[in-house]
Amino acid sequence: MSVPDLNLSADPVELTAALVDMRSVSHDEALIADAIEAALRAQTRGFEISRFGNRVLARTTRGLPTRVVLAGHLDTVPIADNLPSWRTNSDDEGDMLHGCGTVDMKSGLAVFLHLIATLDQPAHDLTLICYDCEEIAAKFNGLGFIEREKPEWLVGDVAILGEPTGGLIEAGCQGTMRVRLSAKGIRAHSARSWMGENAIHRLGEALTRLHAYVPRTVDIDGCEYREGLSAVAVSGGVAGNVIPDAAYLDVNFRYAPDRSEEQAFAHVREVFASDLADGTLTAQITDSAPGALPGLTHPAAAALVDAADGKFRAKYGWTDVARFSALGIPAVNLGPGDPSLAHRADERVPVAQIYAVTELLRTYLSA
């Protein structure tokens, strides 16, 4: 397939549509990476450009006092009969661009590419990171590969990820941890249930504790994070006439970024302390990703907040800002689109938000 031509200086809405129309489901980002690489090489000046797998990297080295990293992923979730893109204009919603990836996050990526090509005199050195496989398991995440193999490309004073935020700054992100609570019993015929110990019944107290759990709310840099501890899966059972000897309950803890992973696990163990102490349950971490502090007091991040007229909020979900935070780089999410529409068959982004985020970032990157 021939590589599509992208005009990075074109209207950012048209550029969004062009990116959306290139299918790029996770693990299939070669075509869009080829197109972006070709456009950057042909239409930008003063940028060092590097291709690393299906990751396209570009940066300036002008010796400016600060560096801003703009990072966005190329991949989408599987197509849901929502390509090619199309546009509607209604009294209810206004001017909207529809299609897979319009929200998550090709509109944000289009904004970054457009600004890279059209900023005349940026006030900061710029790094652009276009990476693959964000929508699937973390082991495939292209930003992780860059962090391990080309870490010098992630150096900066502030990082902006183009995740959908409705055009508002969403600072930091919460951590996420899944813990499996396992119960053991003794198998027996259900007609003689007293001869066994029912492992499923042993999960009862844990479920009661979850139902009564009161989540913590914490304010960090003016961002309010609300934690949550929830059962997300339960399994057990052998047959319709057997007392089960094993069962488990998966618990997801979404925690504020003032907790470390170790502190988060300690809190989960505290909630179920009596069940763990008497051996009714055992606890094992099955998945974990740390949160990211908002870092809005850093001068480079504070200047972005000023450009956004002081409008910001906490990010509840986990995003790759956590990777930058772990490197000591303040990071925020900022992009067009309602995150609740991401991954849906009716995914769509307001055209006005694409323009608004473009101008917000143009102001910030030029100031």
Q: Which residues are catalytic?
A: 75, 134
Q: Is the peptide bond before 84 cis (omega within 30 degrees of 0)?
A: yes
Beta carbons of 144 and 138 less than 8 angstroms apart: yes
Counting Cα atoms < 13 Å in the Cβ hemisphere of 3 gives 14
Radius of gyration over alpha carbons of the chain, in Å? 24
Distance from C-alpha of 153 to C-alpha of 151, rounded to nearest angstrom: 5
Give residue for tokens 């941890």.
177
Give residue for tokens 């899944």.
178
Beta carbons of 162 and 103 less than 8 angstroms apart: no
Residue-wise DSSP of 110-172: HHHHHHHHH-SS-SSEEEEEEES--SS-GGG-HHHHHHHH-GGGG--SEEEE----TTSEEES
Beta carbons of 98 and 88 less than 8 angstroms apart: yes
Beta carbons of 217 and 225 less than 8 angstroms apart: yes
Q: How many residues does the chain have?
A: 367
**216, amino acid identity:** R
Give residue for tokens 């501890």.
229
Query: Taken in order 283, 289, 295, 298, is the CA torsion positive or negative?
Result: positive
